[in-house]
Amino acid sequence: MIQTDIVIIGAGPTGLYGAYCAGFRGLRSVVVDALPQVGGQISALYPEKEVRDVAGIPGILGRSLVDALTAQAAAYDPVYLLGRQAVELRRDESERPVVVLSDGTAVHAQAVILTSGIGTFTPRPLPAGEEWLGRGLTYFVPDPSEHAGHDVVIVGGGDSAVDWSLALAPLARSVTLVHRRAAFRAHAAGVEAARGAGVRIVVDSQVVSLSGGEQVEKAHLRTRGEADRALPADSVIAALGFISDLGPLADWNLELRGRSVLVDQRMRTNLPRVYAAGDLTEHAGKVRLMSVGFGEVATAVNNAAVELDPELALFPGHSTDAA
């Protein structure tokens, strides 16, 4: 059992900023995410892309933005429970929320803030080699340097696959991009940039199996009209996209509009002491931008703080006034 003031479900940019806002109000926070690292969609889909829609920052790599938000929140020591899904919402004897995680952990909180983007992201599996997960097969590239000197095989045809091939080309011994079709979903300029960076591009092909000892050593390819072949592969990155849905949140009796959670101007849901912010939410005039999510989670945290202690002022004060 874990006790905290606020449990934030979703460790993307909105959730990370929420952990900072909670700390600034003197509230303890626990941040939960089903993904194995912080950063949400940015870390999962475009860590190497430049983000240009954060106020005051002309441009910043996605992973660098996540690092900065994590460092900002670290001043208040939030607890991260990653690789665990929030599966159930209960109430204790005082009707305060208890969030039960997929590993059985119960987080007792004063309030809940939902910041899980547009729902739960589950990577589409590579059917050929799920048993190699963690032994050379991965769905994420949080740190490109981990693949330095490797023979890397990337599977997929979207922007993430191409972005990761470009990011790893200067570091890896070799990078091969395998796509089951001739046409890519990724932007054509990105594909050509990857080709120009020395990435080997193999189309009309699928990875049918992986092999090796303790770790992956080879990726076995089947190409239309050709004999099967094996490629050296210390790292296999399956960039096959993600399945997005509300997951267990759909059973929490939240008031929904489609896959979005309805909130009022204080970012309250229909459930007591449960707030929501970011892309998950819906309200009049909603605009799904990261900058809007930052404002929404600040609103949620400060209204939650007042609900927990009505003697507090809603306005938290300026950071420049803090000692």
Domain ends where: 240, 256, 288?
240
Domain ends where: 240, 262, 288?
240
Q: Are residues 149 and 202 in the same domain?
A: yes
pLDDT value of residue 119 = 58
Q: Please give the structure tokens belonging to residue 234.
A: 């210390």
Longest dimension (CA), the chain: 74
pLDDT value of residue 120 = 61
Q: Are residues 163 and 233 in the same domain?
A: yes
Q: Are residues 188 and 277 in the same domain?
A: no
Higher local confidence (pLDDT), 259 or 45: 259
Residue 268 lies in domain: 2-122+243-321
pTM for this entry: 0.80
Token pair 């330095």 is at which residue? 148
Domain holding 144: CATH number? 3.50.50.60
pLDDT at 102 over 90: yes
**pLDDT band at residue 246 using 50, 70 and 90 as cut-offs:** confident
pLDDT at 298 over 80: yes
Q: Are residues 131 and 107 in the same domain?
A: no
pLDDT value of residue 141 = 83
Q: Are residues 118 and 263 in the same domain?
A: yes
List, for residues 185-230, the tens digit of each pLDDT value: 888 999 999 999 999 999 999 999 999 999 999 999 999 888 899 9
**pLDDT band at residue 43 using 50, 70 and 90 as cut-offs:** confident
Token pair 């900002």 is at which residue? 72
Q: Are residues 134 and 108 in the same domain?
A: no
List, for residues 127-147, the tens digit of each pLDDT value: 877 789 889 999 888 788 999
Q: Are residues 275 and 249 in the same domain?
A: yes
The mean predicted confidence, pLDDT, of the chain is 92
- Indicate the pairing of strand 151-155 with strand 235-238: parallel
Q: Are residues 108 and 150 in the same domain?
A: no
pLDDT at 122 over 80: no
Q: Are residues 92 and 148 in the same domain?
A: no
- Indicate the pairing of strand 79-82 with strand 2-3: unpaired
Cβ(125)–Cβ(132) below 8 Å: no
Q: Are residues 148 and 252 in the same domain?
A: no
Q: Are residues 206 and 297 in the same domain?
A: no
**48-62, 86-100, 263-277: segment of lowest average pLDDT:** 48-62
Structurally, the chain folds into a number of domains equal to 2
**Residue range 228-249: average pLDDT?**
88
pLDDT at 60 over 90: yes
pLDDT value of residue 108 = 98
pLDDT value of residue 121 = 62
Q: Are residues 178 and 141 in the same domain?
A: yes
- HEC profile for the chain? CEECCEEEECCCHHHHHHHHHHHHCCCCEEEEECCCCCCHHHHHHCCCCEECCECCECCEEHHHHHHHHHHHHHCCCCEEEECCCEEEEEECCCCCEEEEECCCCEEECCEEEECCCCCEEEECCCCCCHHHECCCEECCCCCHHHHCCCEEEEECCCHHHHHHHHHHCCCCCEEEEECCCCCCCCCHHHHHHHHHCCCEEECCEEEEEEEECCCEEEEEEEECCCCCEEEECCEEEECCCEEEECHHHHHCCCCEECCEEECCCCCECCCCCEEECCCCEECCCCCCCHHHHHHHHHHHHHHHHHHHCCCCCCCCCCHHHCC
**17-31, 38-52, 159-173, 285-299: segment of lowest average pLDDT:** 38-52
Cβ(57)–Cβ(291) below 8 Å: no
- Indicate the pairing of strand 274-276 with strand 260-262: unpaired
pLDDT value of residue 76 = 97
**Residue range 99-116: average pLDDT?**
97
**54-68, 74-88, 130-144, 149-163: segment of lowest average pLDDT:** 130-144
Domain ends where: 200, 215, 240?
240
